[in-house]
Amino acid sequence: MQVLLLVDIQNDFVPGGALAVPDGDQVISVANALIPRFELVVATKDWHPADHGSFARQHPNHKIGDVIDLHGLQQILWPDHCIQNTAGAEFVETLDTDDIDRVFFKGTDADIDSYSGIFDNGRRKATGLGEYLRESGIRDVYVMGLATDYCVKFTVLDALDLGFHVHVIEDGCRGVDLKPGDSARAIEEMRKEGAYIVRSDQIARRGRVGPSQPEV
């Protein structure tokens, strides 16, 4: 059993948003093309309280991009983004959300960030996604979304850790690239840790996903 996992395809991560990922909007058509090919579709949402500790605004002596110690963990400071129940935290309007079966929320604790959709950055709390995938009888997890070098990467590494076969849909991901090359390095790291790096057109052509895909 396979799942399509859509990571953080939210308004604040696409151009015009508070933490815009360059070309982040280009993943939407990839997602919309893939959603009908999967029996199970799950999404994550970055879902922060307004005073989240990852926001530079909460640390008056620091600025966006600084790295601080946040309760014992290294934390990059971001602009305010994906605040719970705000427009910035909504799915991008053009994403076909009707067939998303479940949404998992992360970054809800002001004291700790959660790049991964599975565990927080301290691996203290789980979002429930890992258990849900296990209980759903999933072996293969197809991951795409935003951002390659943060939430996609850490979600993929946690999913590998839990023993899933993880496929990263490369053309369905875009990165922040605070440092040039971060996304490319993230892809290499995921590959090194055991993820399969695939393109969305391979999924369609190979017919590996969903019932009775024609072999070409």
Chain contacts with ligand VGL (rule: CB under 6 A): 8, 13, 46, 78, 146-147, 150-151
Compare residues 35 and 146 and give the one whose CB is closer to ligand VGL. Answer: 146
Return the one option of ligand VGL, Zn ion, none that residue 119 interacts with (CB less than 5 to 8 A, by type): none
Tell me how crowded residue 162 is: count the other CB atoms within 10 A of its CB.
Answer: 17
Minimum distance from CB of 190 to ligand VGL (Å)?
A: 14
Instruction: Show the CA angle centred on residue 62, arms to residues 56 and 67, nearest 5°.
Output: 80
Compare residues 37 and 120 and give the one whose CB is closer to ligand VGL. Answer: 120
Minimum distance from CB of 137 to ligand VGL (Å)?
A: 27
Compare residues 143 and 209 and give the one whose CB is closer to Zn ion. Answer: 143
Q: Which residues contact 134 (CB under 8 A, 6 or more apart)?
A: 162
Q: Using an 8 Å Cβ cutoff, are 53 and 70 in contact? A: yes
Return the one option of Zn ion, ligand VGL, none that residue 8 interacts with (CB less than 5 to 8 A, by type): ligand VGL
Closest by Cα among 214, 199, 175, 186 to 13: 175
Q: Judge whether 69 counts as a catalytic residue.
A: no
Q: Using an 8 Å Cβ cutoff, are 81 and 11 in contact? A: no
Which positions lie near Zn ion, rule CB under 5 A? 46, 107
Compare residues 48 and 167 and give the one whose CB is closer to ligand VGL. Answer: 48
Q: Judge whether 8 counts as a catalytic residue.
A: yes
Return the one option of Zn ion, ligand VGL, none that residue 104 interacts with (CB less than 5 to 8 A, by type): none
Closest by Cα among 185, 133, 191 to 157: 191
Q: In the β-sheet with 40-46, what is the strand arrangement from edge to edge?
A: 102-106, 40-46, 2-7, 140-146, 165-174, 196-198
Minimum distance from CB of 21 to ligand VGL (Å)?
A: 7
Q: For residues 159 and 202, give the distance between their C-alpha atoms in angstroms, rounded to a whole number.
A: 21
Catalytic residue, from 25, 45, 82, 106: name it.
Answer: 106
- R_g of the chain computed on alpha carbons: 17
Q: Judge whether 106 counts as a catalytic residue.
A: yes
Minimum distance from CB of 120 to ligand VGL (Å)?
A: 12
Catalytic residue, from 82, 113, 151, 173: name it.
Answer: 151
Active site residues: 8, 106, 151
